[in-house]
Amino acid sequence: MNSQTVRERIAGPAGVIECAVDSPSGEAAGIAVICHPHPVHGGTMDNKVAQTLARALMQLGFRAVRFNFRGVGGSEGTWDEGRGEVDDALAVIAQYREANRPFVLAGFSFGAYVAAQAALQLDDDAKPQRLVLIGPSTQKQHMAVVPADTIVVHGEADEVVPLAATFDWARPQSLPVIVLPGVGHFFHGQLTLLKNVVVQQLQRPKV
């Protein structure tokens, strides 16, 4: 993401997992783990939305950790239709999460599905303080039920995941969805707006 980005390799369930770590100046307020979009369709940890999430979380003082799912970039293994990718996320969380420190879990598109599934599987004392889901893959994946304070952002003109699919998932949970007018799935030209919305939402006190 920038010259200060540190590339690291950790052990994962399918071999090495390649990570990119961005740290704020000074002591970090906590850890944020960010899951990238669909690997079969070119998604990597260097995706612009994943990087935007990292910037937003760094602005709030978090140490932001992005990583490549198995079979992507320098990560070993092969695509596992979402199952192994959740295991990859859990391995990264186990490596970087610090006990008794704030922890945010975020994801974009397929990565939002992985983040929601990973959060569901974590023990109660290891769950994220906040879950941030951007353009979640609510049409092709079976999205988990998420906490009431989950931040969900979706583009009105999303051409990959229809906004209606995310409303259908959110409605039974009475879960608010932040809709960015006229914005497509990849937030082209609107990444600054997305970053600002995420920062503002995370700064708001939990109800």
Residue 183 lies in a domain: yes
Tens of pLDDT, residue by residue over 111-138, are: 999 999 999 999 999 999 999 999 999 9
Quick one: tokens of 8?
Answer: 């690291």
Q: Is the pLDDT of residue 206 over 80?
A: no
Q: Is the pLDDT of residue 169 over 70?
A: yes
The mean pLDDT of 36-61, rounded to a whole number, is: 97
The mean pLDDT of 74-94, rounded to a whole number, is: 98
Lowest mean pLDDT among 23-32, 106-115, 179-188: 23-32
How far is the C-alpha of 165 from the C-alpha of 199, rounded, in Å? 25
Q: Which H/E stretch holds residue 59? A: helix 48-59
Domain count, the chain: 1
Q: What angle do CA 43, 49, 50 make, to 5 degrees?
A: 70
Q: Is the pLDDT of residue 2 over 80?
A: no
Confidence grade of residue 176 (pLDDT, cut at 50, 70, 90): very high
CA 78 from chain center: how many Å? 20
Are the C-beta atoms of 136 and 153 separated by less than 8 Å?
no
* Structural domain boundaries enclosing 141: 6-203
Residue 144 lies in a domain: yes
| Residue 205, pLDDT score | 74
Concatenating the DSSP letter of every residue in 97-164 gives --TTS-EEEEEETHHHHHHHHHHHHS-GGGS-SEEEEES--TTTS-PPP--TT-EEEEETT-SSS-HH
Quick one: tokens of 80?
Answer: 């596992």
The CATH number covering residue 67 comes to: 3.40.50.1820
Residue 1 lies in a domain: no
pTM of the model: 0.97
